[in-house]
Structure 1
Amino acid sequence: MSLRRLHPAWLVAAVGFVALVGAAGFRATPSVLLHPLHEEFGWPLATISVAVSVNLLLYGLTAPFAAALMDRFGIRRVVAAALTLVAAGSGLTVFMRTSAELILCWGVLVGLGTGSMALAFVATVTGRWFVKRRGLVTGILTAGGAAGQLVFLPLLANLVEAYGWRTAALVVAGSALAVVPLVGWLLRDHPADLGLPPYGATEVVPAPARTGGAASRALGALRTAARTPAFWLLAGGFAICGASTNGLVGTHFIPAAHDHGMTETAAASLLALVGLFDIAGTIASGWLTDRFDSRVLLAAYYALRGLSLLVLPSLFSGSTEPSMLVFVIFYGLDWVATVPPTVALCREYFGASGAVVFGWVFAAHQIGAAVAATGAGLIRDQLGTYTLAWYAAGALCAAAAVFSMLLRRRSGRPAEPDAPAAPATPEAGRSGASVSAG
């Protein structure tokens, strides 16, 4: 009976969370496999980092098209196909012999799969299913990626150490594939399919007609958004966000710690601990986003992250010192806390197109991550240390804080995003009125 009284939006959010955890496994894998692949195949770290960069780049560039495809074919089909693609790409890596095959499997296949499960998926789910608690649910779903990192990193590091990297890749493939039946069974596309209003609304919002042209819709949203300064400030800040998280710390923290004598298992555990605090920080950020100005939140997050990265080079050692644990806690709370306020600002500025526009902002995030992943590898190969990379990331975060404060509040706060009866029209997106994304 209690399940009957529970709004189905919460069940959809729960399934989305599990799916995001399943997709996160391979995204957590690159930093664990850098040295094993280097040792087995003799590939330079910069070469392996290129595959990581392709993965990160496609992960971002796929997002806006995936959001449009979810409008065309439905959330359930796109997510199930994405998880299957992740599983195929991860599983096929066990047969690779050349760096080109690494780029194809690890970079292209998994990049496309995880990109279809990126944060634009979060924006789509929250936009369709929630009127109230959007910020909080955005934080919880975003934390799904951190939860995947938390679950998979120590497990993968131990599997690599005990059984080799191929076993770890197969475990990731199996985990992603295991989520597909759950998605097919429980994930629903729109509350109107069940004859219900979104959570927090009083009227049923008709599901929009499914039309063709997912690519044209994604590109059209980009053309419209690119005419506004807000888009470039959000995209620029989020590009720096990606460079200072996935691209740098997510990819190179373990090799950097290994350079200072720390075991890969210990370094992976620290990175997993970042994921643990990321869950708390992202959920808290969602709660704060429902209550405070997203611009101020973003500026604070970027400034604090920059300070932590400037301190990091002095904290590495052969063992886990208390100062490093302090960094892990502080940095972890801030890891993707930027997502809920960024999603909220995309809705505020771009209305019904907010989820698709956020997909493009997220693409900028991944471009930044890809540049940082390759750039840090090159710095390490040329200078023998990552120190310059940490300092550069810290300085960029300061710039992102300035970008956030330059965002202007729209004249008059948009009405509660989701007047249920309001149709989603292109005009609504251009006016910045916040309506239910459909």
Structure 2
Amino acid sequence: MGTHVIKMPDIGEGIAEVELAQWHVKVGDLVVEDQVLADVMTDKAMVDIPSPVHGKVLSLGGQPGEVMAVGSILISIEVEGAGNLKASDQLVKEPAPIKEAAPAAVAPKVEAAPVLESKPVAACRPAPQAPVARDADERPLASPAVRKHALDLGIQLRLVQGSGPAGRILHEDLDAYLAQGTQNARSGSAPSGYAERHDEEQIPVIGMRRKIAQRMQEATQRAAHFSYVEEIDVTAVEELRAHLNEKYGATRGKLTLLPFLVRALVVALRDFPQINARYDDEAQVITRHGAVHVGVATQSDVGLMVPVVRHAEARSLWDSAAEIARLATAARSGKAARDELSGSTITLTSLGALGGIVSTPVLNLPEVAIVGVNKIVERPMVIKGQIVVRKMMNLSSSFDHRVVDGMDAALFIQAIRGLLEQPASLFVE
């Protein structure tokens, strides 16, 4: 038997060190070729580290949250044959096997299921458990197969205690949860929602969550934020969208409101080039861009990501729609490339149906503007002395006051409003 050492790879772009975000294996696990061993975090994206060999994990080279140099030993695997451990590597002190890490703030990519779940249920069935209290929006660690199993059984995963690495929920945890429910039913008892709780949980801020925290803090400290909110009557553009979907949806794909918003940004920015800009405050240089590269803020399992629709000025509605959908899928699955997550000149952010009435979005530095979309609601409006029901939506947008004057920001949003309320003007050249 030999040892195969996997070192922290050179991910490119001159990066000398990366953060270890998540282990998908532990010491003693059997792994197969192409199985994801770990996630590492660069300044721009999460990167999978797959196994190039079959074998057994001997040691792990760091804890989640640790910053590791490129070329340092990431993991050692026992393999058939001689392995690749060189004499120079043997001089490097191998790290001791680490204990199972505490639950990390970064959720795993759902396609990377650890080998542990292939163990026979009888060999590692946990004891019956009481429901776990998690926040309603917290996404517990579980593989796609476990999530489907829970859905079939009608079990909410946030109530299940996980016995796998980092609290990952396994199939046998679902069995244990069901067994506990049966036991409570027989005894006539059930966990009380009014019982005192004294538990605490410490969540390490690592990986994507740490990057998001750093960027948000930097943005609020460096830029002079100001926000501007305007309501827009989107009745006409929604009617146009419904008509286009009915006529072309089967052949060209369905349109959401986002492609119309992207088009409105493109047209409005022609008159406001100072808003389609990036500000290098260290060099004291503002770069105005002719190309409109729209960042579309997207929520993923690992946090907020901003994939970029490049050259939106050259895209049709359906082209924009397809690209937005493709990038959102890539971001949510952790497959977005680094160049797909950088280079935006203005950002569009939307919480969809949860968009609320008003928001104050934080700038995506070094950009100087971000346009926030709130939810659409039907409201009575007075038009020409008559009360009519209209579909209304607020745009809550933020700007960098160091670069964008308040009047220019207001006029820019008013231009978007005019384009959306008279949607034919979106296509008049």
TM-score, normalised relative to structure 1? 0.22
TM-score after normalising by structure 2: 0.22
Q: Report the structure, 1 or 2, having the larger strand content.
A: 2
